[in-house]
Amino acid sequence: MPQKSAENTVARRGDTSEETYIRLRELIVEGAFAANQRLMQSDLSEQLGVGRTPVREALNRLMADGLVISQPNRGVVIAPAPLESAEELYAIRLLLEPPLVQALTTDFGEAEFERMEAKLEEMEASPDRTVDFQKAHRDFHLVSISEYTNKAIADMVMRVHRQLFRYQQQYMSRPRVPEDFVELDRALLEAMREGDARRARDIFEFHLIDAAVGLVLDVDPDHAFDPLLVAMRGAGILIETDEARMQRPAAISWADPAPDLPPMKTFNLVYAPAASAPRRRR
């Protein structure tokens, strides 16, 4: 009988650890566990049909992702999902992703555009199926990650997306106006197809801010924004606020917008190219 090589054994153990990590990560992201719920290695081992070693390794990686935390006398628990953290994640996306999309637009080919188009069609077909709509919307934007050649950046973007999807599952029971998401994504895809990188960046920025404002204010209408406003100022974007609070639709403008940036309006935001800069009352 052939002897099992140590190399093959390590490879299988590594595969099992990776698979366990991915399966457990998706369960957390999709809301299978409640915030602050304790995770017992023995229970997870039985549930996933694997040994405790891959479960322990998976939990260590999920801790680095920010999806689980270790608490004294309780062990590993599902990380809480405060509303303020959702705003922070959108602020990170605003600073990170639109410049990358602008830089990479000319690297995209028809294969990527067709994948994005397919996800748009899934969104249009599932406006009332919240989970399906959100997954298609997430996957639409993740297509661009395939062009991120730097692994560290790609991993960072993926971690933010996973965490934010979890917040969307918890707080966004249904996009208030799904058509707004589809319309903005279609405008983004059109700009990318035309190779208009600057217009693509501005539309993407509008879309991210719109999603952030909608998610937060639907839960807390009196929320005082902070990280999102800082990120917007860093990106040269102004929005109408009253002591960091917003009335919808809030007027938005760019210090230096794309020359062909069209008017945009959603339930949360409005951009009029000929309008003066929004007021910022402090």
Residue 276 lies in a domain: yes
Tell me how far apart the alpha carbons of residues 51 and 82 are, in angstroms, rounded to a whole number: 32
In the chain, how many domains are there?
2
- The end-to-end CA distance of the chain, in Å, is 79
Residue 153 lies in a domain: yes
Tell me how far apart the alpha carbons of residues 208 and 235 are, in angstroms, rounded to a whole number: 12
Tell me how far apart the alpha carbons of residues 19 and 124 are, in angstroms, rounded to a whole number: 32
Residues 224-242 have pLDDT tens digits of 999 999 999 999 999 999 9
Query: Nearest 5°: CA angle at 228, between 224 and 231?
Result: 145
Supply the DSSP string of 9-48, one letter for each residue: HHHHHHHHHHHHHHHHHHHHHTTSS-TT-B--HHHHHHHH
Q: Please identify which residue in the block is written with the tokens 């990106």.
A: 235
Residue 42 lies in a domain: yes
Domain boundary (33, 54, 78) is at 78
Which structural domain, as residue segments, surrounds residue 209? 83-281
Domain boundary (63, 78, 93) is at 78
Residue 214 lies in a domain: yes
Q: Exposed (0-12), middle (13-18) or buried (19+): which is 91, by Cβ within 10 Å?
A: buried
Tell me how far apart the alpha carbons of residues 119 and 108 are, in angstroms, rounded to a whole number: 16
Residues 8-45 have pLDDT tens digits of 333 344 468 899 998 998 888 777 888 889 999 999 99
What mean pLDDT, rounded, does the chain reach?
86
Domain boundary (51, 78, 105) is at 78
pTM: 0.80
Task: For the chain, give the percent of residues with pLDDT over 70.
Answer: 90
Q: CB under 8 Å to 207, separation ≥6 — which residues? A: 181, 184, 185, 188
Cα–Cα distance list, 199 to 26, 32, 278 (Å):
34, 38, 20
Bridge-partner residues for 270, per DSSP? 251, 265
- 3-state SS, residue 70: strand
CATH code where residue 166 lies: 1.20.120.530
| DSSP assigned state of 197 | H
For the chain, list the strands marked E by DSSP: 68-71, 75-78, 237-239, 241-242, 250-254, 264-265, 269-271, 280-281
Identify whether residues 17 and 156 lie together within a single domain: no
Identify whether residues 140 and 15 lie together within a single domain: no
Bridge-partner residues for 76, per DSSP? 70
Residue 1 lies in a domain: no
Each residue's pLDDT expressed in tens, for the chain with a length of 282 residues: 334 333 333 334 446 889 999 899 888 877 788 888 999 999 999 999 999 999 999 999 999 888 899 998 889 999 887 888 899 999 999 999 999 999 999 889 899 999 999 999 999 998 888 878 888 998 999 887 777 777 888 888 888 888 888 887 777 655 567 889 999 999 999 999 999 999 999 999 999 999 999 999 998 999 999 999 999 999 999 999 998 899 999 999 999 999 999 999 999 999 999 755 555 433
